[in-house]
Amino acid sequence: MAEMTEATNMETTPMENNNELALITPETQPKRRKKKSMVWEYFTIETVSAGCRRACCNRCKQSFAYSTGSKVAGTSHLKRHIAKGTCPALLRDQYNNQLTPYNPKTGGSEPRKRRYRSPSSPFIPFDQDRCRHEIARMIIMHEYPLHMVEHPGFIAFVQNLQPRFDKVSFNTVQGDCVATYLREKQSLMKLIEGIPGRVCLTLDMWTSNQTLGYVFITGHFIDFEWKLQSRVLNVIMEPYPDSDSALSHAVAACLSDWSLEGKLFSLTFNHPTSEAGLENLRPLLCTKNPLILNGQLLLGNCIARTLSSMAKDVLGAGHEIVKKIRDSVKYVKTSESHDEKFVQVKNQLQVPSEKSLILDNQTQWNTTCQMLAAASELKEVFNCLDTSDPDYKLAPSMEDWKVAETLCSFLKPLFDAASILTTTTNPTAITFFHEAWKIHADLGRSITNEDPFISNIAKSMLEKIDKYWKDCSLILAIAVVMDPRFKMKLVEFSFTKIFGEDAPTYIKIVDDGIHELFLEYVALPLPLTPTYTEEGNAGNNGKTDESQQGNLLSDQGLTDFDVYIMETSSQQMKSELDQYLEESLLPRVQEFDVLGWWKLNKMKYPTLSKMARDILSIPVSAAAPDSVFDIIIKQLDEYRSSLRPETVEALICAKDWLHYGSEESNALVKMEF
């Protein structure tokens, strides 16, 4: 084996001659013994002395051991010299893209060269375009600044990693990011074009240091598989965010951009809007669309902002007490010695609380709620801390702790409700019907409390939940009716608790509203036959076989038959809703899949299932999960707000879309790398 290896790798070939080994020079070497190793393009064998030869680098003239007597060193160390970039002369050539040591281009007259692979790291040819594509994805996914490609540290890192990579400028990487956005957008557009129902939009207004507004518009819809989907569709810069036309302008731009005219079902937004602003939004729900409940499905408030506003009122009412407790927590948590003394006193008193003290972030009310709850359970420790730490003189009084516990009692149901928005992938209107009416009922009892402090807080909170209930109770109630576990029964029960003697009036509004909405779905042109086409489209990714369509419709005259059914059977179809309402309630299973139930029963309720699909896609919150507890309005950072609005939109939308990937849609354009 040693002789074979030597014969394979040596530049000069040993041959037998009278039992003596004779060295044959490269000029006289037989062609059949020609070396295939790529290193010999960069090295020359030199004889140093009798029986000793060394490999000399043609570029930097360094020499390396090759053979001594019958022992051959091999070529691995020579490969490392040229492959790892340790040859200074070769490195300079690679910077100028003059040499491609391990990535020969195929085709043409160039000889085919061997590629070296190791078991752990297979050979991967260098591709400049692929690298640029991955840099754009990295910047989008991790929100890195685009200017990073021009930072000296990044340039040095990349050149050491791959000397052949050409530097890219800010403008280049900006174009690459926009190209990624456009590619993903085309895939998403094909997905949205084929959805069977309508789209609901949420509007989340952000601001910037320049007092500009950025409207984040997210679309929510249910796909053919009855799965709730949501995607950020647009980020639209509004120069005057407080104007009456800011939101309506953004929504109109979104509808035009995504061809959603006639598909819009509801709007949910978190930005305070005047009556004039609401009236500007309302017609957008009716553009080329049936007058769905005369625009009553416009949701004027998102539940996250309502809960945050109520929490802000609670904390404001006890702000002096909150500050005292915050100062005490700060005293303990900002010093290791103070913390040790606190733990020591806790152990001595054997306080059973498992909660740990945290210092709150005053821009997110949930952290203040958690701070108050933990401190209240440890109040005995604070009261006795001065015995172990004489420097501590901030202990709240017993009256202060009583107020803190009152604040916690008001914050707890708000915290529990808002937490659903952060832990549930797609919180539904059904869930928040329960939460809203329970909070409403509890506050209704609290305003009669003899303690003026409690009754005043309850009154302030009740005003805000009343406004939310006024704006949103109709659609929340209609969503509950679409849950076969509750239907109208829960509406009747909860409205009786909330409205008392006036409950029948409000119950009738819901009953009339859902029947009116159902009649509008009955009046819609029947798309082919009730369920066949939808199923066919789902199975064919939104494409119906033309020959089948012809057999079902024009060839057999079933289009006219559908019109006949619509004209003569409206009363019969209306009973589809009544039949559903009259049937017994399903058992209340905790992990019940409402959408799955409608998917299974769409043959039984072909029209009602279409209405349920749209109703159950209505979102209750316009806030992102990480901003549900924010007390202040979200602000776009200084760097992003310095970019062009089109670039900001591309970066934010593409980041959202890349999380889902584009495999669920069949994009016509696909870039190859």
pLDDT at 567: 60
pLDDT at 469: 85
* Alpha carbons 158 and 131: distance in angstroms, whole number: 10
SS3 197: coil
pLDDT at 28: 45
String of DSSP letters for 233-247: EEEEEES-TTSTTHH
Query: What are the residue boundaries of the structural domains of the chain, listed by start?
Result: 40-85, 177-302+632-661, 306-422, 426-524+593-621
Which structure tokens are listed for 275? Answer: 């009556």
Q: How many residues are given for the chain?
A: 673
CA angle 59, 60, 62 (to 5 degrees): 120
Which residue carries 């798309």 as its tokens? 527
Surface-to-core class of residue 671, CB atoms within 10 Å of its CB (0-12 exposed, 13-18 middle, 19+ buried): exposed
Helix axes 429-446, 398-423, angle to 10 degrees: 160
Helix axes 379-388, 365-377, angle to 10 degrees: 70
**pLDDT of residue 613 exceeding 70:** yes
List beta partners, residue 21.
16
Name which residue leads in pLDDT, 661 or 21: 661
Question: Is the model's pTM score more than 0.75?
Answer: no
Q: Which range (84-98, 440-454, 537-551, 601-615) has the least confidence?
A: 537-551
DSSP state of 334: T
* 165 within 8 A of 103, measured Cβ to Cβ: no
Mean pLDDT of 611-622: 90
**C-alpha of 408 from chain center:** 32
Q: Which range (16-30, 244-258, 322-336, 513-527) has the least confidence?
A: 16-30
Mean pLDDT of 165-183: 93
pLDDT at 663: 40
**pLDDT of residue 607 exceeding 70:** yes
The CA–CA distances, whole Å, from 165 to 135, 218, 325 equal: 12, 38, 57
Mean pLDDT of 148-175: 92
What radius of gyration, in Å, describes the C-alpha atoms of the chain?
A: 36
* Alpha carbons 219 and 195: distance in angstroms, whole number: 12
- H/E stretch holding 567: helix 558-568
**pLDDT of residue 669 exceeding 60:** no
pLDDT at 26: 46
φ/ψ of 271, rounded to 5, equals: -95, 130
**pLDDT of residue 135 exceeding 90:** yes
* Alpha carbons 655 and 458: distance in angstroms, whole number: 41
Pairing of strands 63-68, 264-269: unpaired
Q: What is the topology classification, in CATH, of domain 177-302+632-661?
A: Nucleotidyltransferase; domain 5 (3.30.420)
Which structure tokens are listed for 128? Answer: 């400049």
pLDDT at 34: 53
pLDDT digits (tens, 9 = 90+) for 211-254: 899 999 999 999 999 999 999 999 999 999 989 999 999 999 99
Mean pLDDT of 124-137: 88
* Alpha carbons 253 and 299: distance in angstroms, whole number: 19
**pLDDT of residue 451 exceeding 70:** yes
pLDDT digits (tens, 9 = 90+) for 13-72: 444 444 444 444 444 444 444 555 777 878 888 888 877 888 888 878 888 887 777 777
Which residue carries 């009363």 as its tokens? 571
**pLDDT range class, residue 123, cuts 50, 70, 90:** low
Instruction: Give the residue among 48, 112, 211, 197 at the shortest CA–CA distance from 598.
Output: 197
Mean pLDDT of 295-315: 83
pLDDT digits (tens, 9 = 90+) for 76-106: 788 777 765 567 766 565 544 433 443 434 4
**pLDDT of residue 206 exceeding 70:** yes
Q: Which range (260-274, 489-503, 560-574) has the least confidence?
A: 560-574
The CA–CA distances, whole Å, from 83 to 116, 122, 161, 596 equal: 10, 14, 12, 57
pLDDT at 41: 78
pLDDT at 665: 37
* 304 within 8 A of 622, measured Cβ to Cβ: yes
Q: Which range (35-49, 518-532, 612-626, 642-656) has the least confidence?
A: 518-532
**pLDDT of residue 420 exceeding 70:** yes
pLDDT at 161: 87
* Alpha carbons 139 and 149: distance in angstroms, whole number: 10
**C-alpha of 142 from chain center:** 12
